[in-house]
Structure 1
Amino acid sequence: MPVGSHSHIRIARPSRNLAAAERFWTGGLGLSVVYRAEGGVRPGEHDLLMLGWPKAPWHLELVHEAARPVEPRPTEEDLLVLYLDEPVPDDLVTRLEEHGGRRVPSPNPYWNEWGVTIEDPDGYRLVLCRRAWSNA
């Protein structure tokens, strides 16, 4: 099967605290736990948390390895952008903040004009954009 628009996408990132990340992404944004696995304490064994929406063509994978933790190193340009095609609901922003997120200004004026940027507990940025997007 060739790579194409039907190919599922996994966005993988390290996390320093999977419980805090899960709280943000599930309780704040409303993603579901797609899969979870607990590792061990030996090198190469890691805890894994996959989050997404049912039937979505992507999911977010967060990993933490106790024996060799990888410190997340996000920059202010490491973005996961969700195009809402409507105004960003204030209650969603509040819920994300109540679940460990922090609203931050973007260095890119485009995102400040068209959306809201929230840092997750690991410092990665989620942009809720009021515009729509299509690759077509």
Structure 2
Amino acid sequence: MLAGFEQSQTSDVRQMPHVFDMPDPLDPDSGEDLPLLVTRRRLIRLALVAAETGARFQREGLDQDPVAWMLAPRELFGGRDGIEAALGLDGCLRAILLHGLSIGLDADPATVDDLLDDESGQPSPLMA
């Protein structure tokens, strides 16, 4: 089942505290910033998903902001946002397929996992 991203765009921004809890990436670093230990592979996954997201939004002429898509919780990622989910293999694969096939801006993870399984002819690593 595809969930409408457009609906979340029209809701009152005060109902979206998760976006405002994020640090502003254009502010200088602070001692209050939470450090994260992330591998290079995970950073590359994040860059890959961010690039694919931006490319799709550009390709399709979508009015939404691809960074907002990355910051919003998604059914596709079990309620996690795209930034967090893209670090893991399952979230990365799901996001790439979602955007590559243009199958909406959110989707049921089981449906996407089934598509991943069908694409390779092998069991999806997400099913393990």
Q: TM-score range by the shorter chain?
A: under 0.3
Give TM-score scaled by structure 2 length: 0.24
Give TM-score scaled by structure 1 length: 0.23
